[in-house]
Amino acid sequence: MLDLRLPIGLLFIIIGTILTVYGFAVPTQTVVSGSAINLNITWGSLMGLFGLCMSLLAYRSRRSG
């Protein structure tokens, strides 16, 4: 049976990578509390990290079970 964490993790890795690359390609900056940050890079990285965690959890449960 397919563990649902694997496709969700892959989806978040792909979308996070696209968003991060877009953030580097189109440097739009949002001013938050007086500092200019690129939210595309920030959220793309966080989405990719979440996807990586989900994929690792799916891999770990497959190896132990």
The whole-number pLDDT of residue 65 equals 63
The whole-number pLDDT of residue 49 equals 98
Domain housing 27:
5-64
Q: What is the largest CA-CA distance in the chain?
A: 50
Check the CA dihedral 5-8-17-37 and report its sign.
Answer: negative
Question: For residue 51, which of 15, 13, 21 has the smallest C-alpha distance?
Answer: 13
Based on the structure, what is the number of domains in the chain?
Answer: 1
The predicted-structure confidence for 8-65, as pLDDT tens digits, reads as follows: 999 999 999 999 999 999 877 777 777 778 889 999 999 999 999 999 999 988 777 6
pTM for this entry: 0.83
Q: Which amino acid is at 23?
A: G
Beta bridge partners of 37: 30
* Cα Rg, the chain, nearest whole Å: 15
The predicted-structure confidence for 25-39, as pLDDT tens digits, reads as follows: 987 777 777 777 888
